[in-house]
Amino acid sequence: MSDARNQARAVLEGPDIHRALTRIAHEILERTRGAESVVLLGIPTRGATLAHRIAGRIAQFEGIKVPVGAIDVTMYRDDLRLRPARPLGRTELPPDGVDGRTVVLVDDVLYSGRTVRAALDALNDVGRPRAVQLATLVDRGHRELPIRADYVGKNLPTSKSEKVKVFLEETDGRDAVVLIKEDDR
């Protein structure tokens, strides 16, 4: 990603991300009657980071400790054979599992919906949640499957030639959502 040839524009900065996550945390509390029997499961790596941040906010607002975990979807992807086998992310389920609970899947960018489909399959193999919801920091459109998010940090209209990259303090040293236009396409 050379910034000279590609135009990179930050569409969300640190404070925007902070506010978006705060709002998502409030919405989850509202729509699940105080996060009752909610489990937050992030999709590695950045979705998992976001899930922990949302859980932190819920703890701060209501003093409830919502179980947080991560669910890796690599082995369930439908595009595995289009690229060389890739390294696996970490699956970490809360000790009480997901059976009978409301699972909120958390991802950084919602695009084709294929990752979420893979996550639903993966979830199927670890238990039977009562309901599954989806939270995403950025929804950039261009869905290829009938999937929509329940909680959206920001709707970001994009063209397919653009790339959306999420940077988070924990993994990348700063908070930002960057839209990259590739000139040569």
Partner 1 sequence: MKRHLISTGDLTRDDALLILDTAEELARVSQRSIKKLPTLRGRTVVNLFFEDSTRTRISFEAAAKRLSADVINFSAKGSSVSKGESLKDTALTLEAMGADAVVIRHSASGAPHRLATWVRGSVVNAGDGTHEHPTQALLDAFSIRRRLGRLEGLKIAVVGDVLHSRVARSNVLLLHTLGAEVTLVAPPTLLPVTVETWPCQISYDLDAVLPKSDVVMMLRVQLERMNAAYFPSAREYSRRYGLDRDRFARLHDDAIVMHPGPMNRGMEISAEVADSPRSTIVEQVANGVTVRMAVLYLLLGGSEPAIGGAE
Q: Which residues bind partner 1 (CB under 8 A)?
A: 72, 75-76, 80-93, 121, 125-126
- Least CB distance from residue 88 to partner 1, whole Å? 4
- Least CB distance from residue 113 to partner 1, whole Å? 18
Residue 21 or 118 having the CB closest to partner 1: 118
Residue 8 or 75 having the CB closest to partner 1: 75
Under DSSP, the state recorded for 99 is T
Q: Which one, of 61, 72, 82, 183, lies nearest residue 126 by Cα?
A: 72
Under DSSP, the state recorded for 92 is B
- Least CB distance from residue 4 to partner 1, whole Å? 30
Distance set, CA 102 to CA 28, 29, 36, 133 (Å): 11, 12, 8, 7
- Least CB distance from residue 174 to partner 1, whole Å? 26
Round to whole Å and give the CA distance between 162 and 181. 5
50, two tokens: 């976001």
Residue 22 or 74 having the CB closest to partner 1: 74
Residue 59 or 75 having the CB closest to partner 1: 75
3-state helix, strand, coil split of the chain in percent (to 5) is: 30, 30, 40
Exposed/middle/buried for 56, CB within 10 Å: 0-12, 13-18, 19+? middle
**Distance from the Cα of residue 90 to its chain's centroid:** 15
- Least CB distance from residue 96 to partner 1, whole Å? 14
Residue 14 or 127 having the CB closest to partner 1: 127
